[in-house]
Amino acid sequence: MYSFISEERALIWTAALLYLVAFVFGFYSLSQSKRYPRIILLTLVIVGFLFQTLGLYERGLKTSTCPLGNPFEIIQFITWTAILLYLVIGPAFRMSLLGFFSAGLAAGLGLLSLLIPEWDRAYETGPFGINPWIETHASMALFSYGIFATLALTSAMYLVQNYGLKQKRSKGMVSFLPSILQLDQMNKRLLFMAVVVFTFAISVGMVQWVDDFSQIQNTKLIFALAIWLSYLIVLILRVINYLIGIKFAWTCVVLFTASLLTLWPIDASRSIVEESSSQQRP
Amino acid sequence: MSNTQKELLLFASTHRTAPLEIREQFAISADRVASLYSGLRGINSLEECLVLNTCNRIELYLISLKPEIKAAVEDHFCDFHNFEIDRLHKFSFWKSGIDVVNHLFEVSSGIDSQMVGETEITGQVKSSYQTAAEMASVGPVLHRVFQKCFQSTKWVRSNTTIGKGQISIGSVAVDLALRIFGNLTSSRILVIGTGEVGEKTVKALKSRGAHSITVSSRTYDNAKTLAKKIEGQAIAFEDFPNALSNFDIIVCSTASPEIIISSSMIKSAMHERPNQPMFFIDLAVPRDIESQVANIPNVFLYNLDDLAEIANENLNSRIAEIDGCRQILRERAERLWSGLEHNGITH
């Protein structure tokens, strides 16, 4: 296990706490029916993002590989991607409250991963990774998870706005959320982007797998393909207008939760393989 | 600093002191404002003056060297409006010193308005100030008071919820449409019926960018008349059911005793546009749209009661904010007043 108070963890702790402050600040403003000053939330998130980037960079130097080797690093990478997307999408599409939701997700998942030391166990590393293509596959796959995370957030925003409109609510958060139409269009774009990135990641992984079957565990392969196929089917159904509105939004939220949960069986299967390979080593 | 003591005075008649028929008599058309100023400037020892003239209030902000000015101002006001001086006191009031500053701050921030928190008054105060400045009727004192007033108004509007939420049916409908469609420039609107509330609602939608408007009515001529008025087009009443899927926002305000838009009609329309939401605004009593429509996914139905309830909720929220705003404005007024006292202004 990596030291609970190592330098990179301290940086990531700072990032998570800044995200938490941003979320609490936004929540307080919204509970007062006030639009929070965007500049304050944006500053907190940007500073948090810089700390998180630095923390992951430090971890990368320590492990001499892309830091995606344990659940803690995977969660951190996903939340890092989600924040990066917010910083890109938020201003470009004027998605109000996306920063608030992204900060909440990054704070929640980030703190959870920090508070469970077992998730940050040490793993075998090599100089610049064993195989750069596998590194590419892993990082692109988790980048797509980050997009799925943002998609889950915008879908949740869609559900809240839809609920508010159906229930004739006009106060509080609903009055600051983007419109139903904007959120729906954003969901469609994010899903398309995520599926493209995930397909690329899967393709790279498949090429490696064809080269050497022993490199990939069956559990990981099955779960990864299942998630990819699920999102691909959702995209097709969305494009042909079969899965739309709240059903589509719910599907995106549920699918992301399921995707997160599949990280555990994938990670567990890898741990077993790592243990058995280390036992076989002279 | 001048040794002469100046006095800040306010003479006013507002919706709080005068009924509509009296306010109608006190109303001053834009072309007569100059004449009122000219009369006021003729009053001896009146140094500065500013007239705030809206449909709900006529207010004269005055800087005078002598308190006896009150009688002269009243005389001029009555002459100007051809109003009996004995009756004037019943419908008007005087304030002086810091109370004037407090009053102005509350007026400008919409606290004293009939529709609490409305923003139009701020523009009216600014415009009155501009007119007075153009007529060289404001001097250093009123200039400072009004500049501080605009700053305080801006602060209150930005930092409290006094102006939050719409309080008219049309504006509430616009807010809801924005929550569904984001912006209304590409929204296609169908108005069924030519009722006044419907027309006002469509005008509110139009003011936020909507420009594709179609009108339908049982009497085609009425539809054409309204369409011409709002720069839209008309379709025959028999044709609108088949054209429903072409519209994003449907405003109904007919006098029909029975439902004119059924759930099955909308389901069929949604089949043709499954991914595009529809917003139905039913302003008719009895209702024009079947209530089960609200259960259709991606369809949002609001009737007159729903809109009125939101408007009332917003109004109540604004009213609840008044005391807090008043406190903030009073503190700012006191700060300004102590500065003015330094410069020779007294009660």
- Contact between A165 and A180 under an 8 Å Cβ cutoff? The reply is yes
Tell me how far apart the alpha carbons of residues A104 and A113 are, in angstroms, rounded to a whole number.
Answer: 14
Spell out the residues 6+ positions from residue B57 whose beta carbon is closer than 8 angstroms to its own: B12, B13, B14, B15, B23, B107
Q: What is the pLDDT of residues A45-67, one digit of tens each?
A: 999 999 999 999 999 888 887 78
In the structure, what pLDDT confidence band is assigned to residue A282 with cuts at 50, 70 and 90? very low
Cβ of B182 within 8 Å of Cβ of A166? The answer is: no
Angle at A224 between CA A218 and CA A230, to 5 degrees: 130
In the structure, what pLDDT confidence band is assigned to residue A1 with cuts at 50, 70 and 90? low
Mean pLDDT of chain A: 86
Least Cα separation, residue A178 to chain B (angstroms): 7
Cβ of B179 within 8 Å of Cβ of A34? The answer is: no
Cβ of B165 within 8 Å of Cβ of A175? The answer is: yes
In the structure, what pLDDT confidence band is assigned to residue A216 with cuts at 50, 70 and 90? low
For the entire predicted model, the pTM comes to 0.76
Cβ of A181 within 8 Å of Cβ of B180? The answer is: yes
DSSP B16-62: TTS-HHHHHHH---HHHHHHHHHHHHTSTTEEEEEEEEETTEEEEEE
ipTM for this prediction: 0.82
Chain A residues with CB-CB distance to B310 below 8 A: 168, 170
Torsion (CA) A249, A252, A253, A255 in degrees, nearest 10 = 150
Residue A280: what pLDDT?
47
Q: What is the pLDDT of residues A112-122, one digit of tens each?
A: 999 988 888 87
CB-CB: which of B175, B180, B317 is closest to A180? Answer: B180
DSSP B108-134: HTTTTSSSTT-SHHHHHHHHHHHHHHH
Chain B residues with CB-CB distance to A247 below 8 A: 297
Tell me how far apart the alpha carbons of residues B225 and B227 are, in angstroms, rounded to a whole number.
Answer: 5
- Contact between B282 and B254 under an 8 Å Cβ cutoff? The reply is no
Residue A71: what pLDDT?
86
DSSP A40-106: HHHHHHHHHHHHHHHHHHHHHHHHTS-S-SSHHHHHHHHHHHHHHHHHHHHHHHT-TTHHHHHHHHH
Question: Which residues does B contribute to its contact with A (CB < 8 Å)?
Answer: 161, 164-165, 172, 175-176, 178-182, 274-277, 294, 297-298, 300, 302, 306, 309-310, 313-314, 317
Residues present in chain B in total: 347
How many CB atoms within 10 Å of residue A4? 11
Tokens of A237: 């159904």
Spell out the residues 6+ positions from residue A38 whose beta carbon is closer than 8 angstroms to its own: A99
- The stretch A145-167 carries a mean pLDDT of 95
Tell me how far apart the alpha carbons of residues A223 and B266 are, in angstroms, rounded to a whole number.
Answer: 42
Report the relative pairing of strands B278-282 and B299-303 from DSSP bridges: parallel
Q: What is the largest CA-CA distance in chain A?
A: 69
For an interface test with B, the pick among A180, A237, A239 (most B C-beta atoms closer than 10 Å) comes out as A180
Residue A128: what pLDDT?
45
CB-CB: which of A174, A179, A244 is closest to B274? Answer: A244
A250 burial level (CB within 10 Å; 0-12, 13-18, 19+): middle
Q: What is the largest CA-CA distance in chain B?
A: 82
Tell me how far apart the alpha carbons of residues B283 and B201 are, in angstroms, rounded to a whole number.
Answer: 9
Cβ of B179 within 8 Å of Cβ of A161? The answer is: yes
User: Residue B47 half-sphere exposure, CB side, CA atoms within 13 Å?
Assistant: 17
Q: Which amino acid is at A137?
A: H
Counting one residue from A and one from B, how many pairs have CB atoms under 8 Å apart?
60
Decide if pLDDT at A278 tops 80.
no
The mean-pLDDT minimum among A70-74, A212-216, B147-151, B272-276 falls in A212-216
- The stretch A190-214 carries a mean pLDDT of 85
Please pick, among B49, B55, B78, B252, the residue that the annotation labels catalytic: B55
Chain A residues with CB-CB distance to B297 below 8 A: 244-247
Least Cα separation, residue A29 to chain B (angstroms): 11
Chain A residues with CB-CB distance to B276 below 8 A: 181
Backbone angles phi, psi at B205, to 5 degrees: -65, -40
Tell me the percentage of chain A whose pLDDT exceeds 90: 53
- Contact between A45 and A18 under an 8 Å Cβ cutoff? The reply is yes
Cβ of A171 within 8 Å of Cβ of B313? The answer is: yes
CB-CB: which of A33, A178, A179 is closest to B161? Answer: A33
Residue A276: what pLDDT?
53
Cβ of A34 within 8 Å of Cβ of B313? The answer is: no
Active site residue B149: no
Residue A223: what pLDDT?
85
For A32, name the nearest residue in chain B, comparing CA atoms only: B161
The label of the residue with tokens 């079957």 reads A213
Tell me how far apart the alpha carbons of residues B169 and B283 are, in angstroms, rounded to a whole number.
Answer: 9
Tell me how far apart the alpha carbons of residues B305 and A12 are, in angstroms, rounded to a whole number.
Answer: 51
In the structure, what pLDDT confidence band is assigned to residue A209 with cuts at 50, 70 and 90? confident
Nearest CA-CA partner of B277 in A231, A161, A237 = A161
The SS3 of residue B300 is strand
Cβ of A246 within 8 Å of Cβ of B297? The answer is: yes
For B303, name the nearest residue in chain A, comparing CA atoms only: A168
Decide if pLDDT at A281 tops 50.
no
- Contact between A64 and A88 under an 8 Å Cβ cutoff? The reply is no
A241 or B5: whose pLDDT is higher?
A: A241
Cβ of B298 within 8 Å of Cβ of A181? The answer is: no
Tokens of B259: 């439902």
| Strand ranges for chain A from DSSP E | none
Residue A224: what pLDDT?
84
Least Cα separation, residue A256 to chain B (angstroms): 22
Cβ of A179 within 8 Å of Cβ of B178? The answer is: yes
Q: Which amino acid is at B203?
A: K
Residue A270: what pLDDT?
59
Cβ of A165 within 8 Å of Cβ of B300? The answer is: yes
For an interface test with A, the pick among B161, B176, B275, B315 (most A C-beta atoms closer than 10 Å) comes out as B275
For A36, name the nearest residue in chain B, comparing CA atoms only: B159
The mean-pLDDT minimum among A154-163, A200-209, B43-52, B212-221 falls in A200-209
For an interface test with A, the pick among B164, B172, B175, B179 (most A C-beta atoms closer than 10 Å) comes out as B179
A235 burial level (CB within 10 Å; 0-12, 13-18, 19+): middle
Tell me how far apart the alpha carbons of residues B108 and B129 are, in angstroms, rounded to a whole number.
Answer: 12
Spell out the per-residue pLDDT of chain B, length 347, in tens: 444 678 999 999 999 999 888 988 898 887 889 999 999 989 988 999 999 998 889 999 999 987 678 999 999 999 999 999 989 999 999 999 999 999 999 999 999 988 888 888 999 999 999 999 999 999 999 999 999 999 999 999 888 888 887 788 888 999 999 999 998 999 999 999 998 888 888 999 998 999 899 999 999 999 999 999 999 999 999 999 999 999 999 999 998 889 999 999 999 999 999 889 999 999 988 899 999 999 999 999 999 899 988 988 888 888 888 999 999 999 999 999 998 887 766 65
Decide if pLDDT at A240 tops 50.
yes
Distances (CA, A) of B75 to A31, B9, B138, B193, B269: 53, 16, 22, 51, 67
